[in-house]
Amino acid sequence: MDALEMSGVDVVSLRRPDTVVLHDVNWIVQEGDYWAVGGLLGTGKSDLLATAAGLVPVAGGVFRIYGKEIAAGYEQDLIEARLKVGMVFDGGRLLNHLSVLENVALPLQYHENLTVAQCHDRAASLLEMAGLADYTSRMPGTINRRLQQRAGLARALALRPKVLLLDNPLSGLDPREALWWLTFLDQLSGTGTTLVMAADDFRPLHGRARQFAVLKDRRFLALGTREELGRHSEPLLRELLHD
């Protein structure tokens, strides 16, 4: 089944909604896929993911999440479709006025109308899974960026999304932390969660992600599966693989 579907989509910048950063994107993400979307800095990877999360309306074309055409707004049916997609932002983007636990509990509280105490167990188990059991009561500003990003992952998983978008989570990580993320994502992919990861280096994802694409010259270029990757002649691919 198609989890995400973009046909002829013009992607706009999240920060400057009047600027189109990608033209005519035709992309289908099927359930269970593990996509790696590469590109150089400023090519629109974050904007593409923001569009896929339903954060910004498309400037042209049609975008669907599980068959539901997505538009701006907070109508209940749109929210239901959008909640099937979770997103981990670069750096986590936690709400600074809430503790780490409250950040993870917030979506549960809001959508399931629970108190913090009622959703404490679920939020705490997510944080434990992310290796943050000792940081639950800390404020985001008091923990480092690496841990904030893990908390962002725990928060994105709170509502059990079917598709998880990850905005360059490996950027700036040491090898041990990068390995933790890759192993975690492998396990998540094994449970059937669809993954789309933006990356500016394909090397760590080679052999892990199953579908690859690059953004170049304001275009989305699907490169195919990992088997097809080796045969592809796209020059940017060589740069992303550091060949």
Binding-residue total with another protein (CB under 8 A): 33
In the chain, the largest separation of any two C-alpha atoms, in whole Å, equals: 55
Output the six-digit token pair for 22. 């990608």
Question: Can residue 25 be called a binding residue for another protein (CB under 8 A)?
Answer: no
Among 2, 8, 16, 225, binds another protein (CB under 8 A): 16
Nearer to another protein, 17 or 131 (CB): 17
Structural element, H or E, at residue 82: helix 76-82
Contact 94, 112 (CB under 8 A): no
Structural element, H or E, at residue 61: strand 60-65
Residue 94, CA distances (Å) to 26, 107, 224 in order: 32, 12, 34
Question: Can residue 15 be called a binding residue for another protein (CB under 8 A)?
Answer: yes
Site string (57-96) toward another protein, x via CB under 8 A: -----------------x----x--xx-xxx-x---xxxx
Residues 106-145 that bind another protein (CB under 8 A): 106-107, 109-111, 113-115
Among 97, 145, 219, 238, binds another protein (CB under 8 A): 97
Contact 188, 164 (CB under 8 A): yes
Nearer to another protein, 28 or 56 (CB): 56
Question: Can residue 7 be called a binding residue for another protein (CB under 8 A)?
Answer: no
Among 22, 29, 37, 50, binds another protein (CB under 8 A): 50
Residue 116 CB neighbour total at 10 angstroms: 15
Nearer to another protein, 81 or 223 (CB): 81
Site string (217-236) toward another protein, x via CB under 8 A: --------------------
Contact 106, 120 (CB under 8 A): no
C-alpha span between 59 and 151 (Å, rounded): 32
C-alpha span between 206 and 142 (Å, rounded): 34
Output the six-digit token pair for 76. 């209940």
Using DSSP bridges, classify how beta strands 219-225 and 85-88 pair: parallel, antiparallel or unpaired: unpaired
As measured in angstroms, the least distance from the Cβ of 114 to another protein is 7
Chain positions contacting another protein, by CB under 8 A: 14-17, 50, 53-55, 74, 79, 82-83, 85-87, 89, 93-97, 106-107, 109-111, 113-115, 152, 155-156, 159
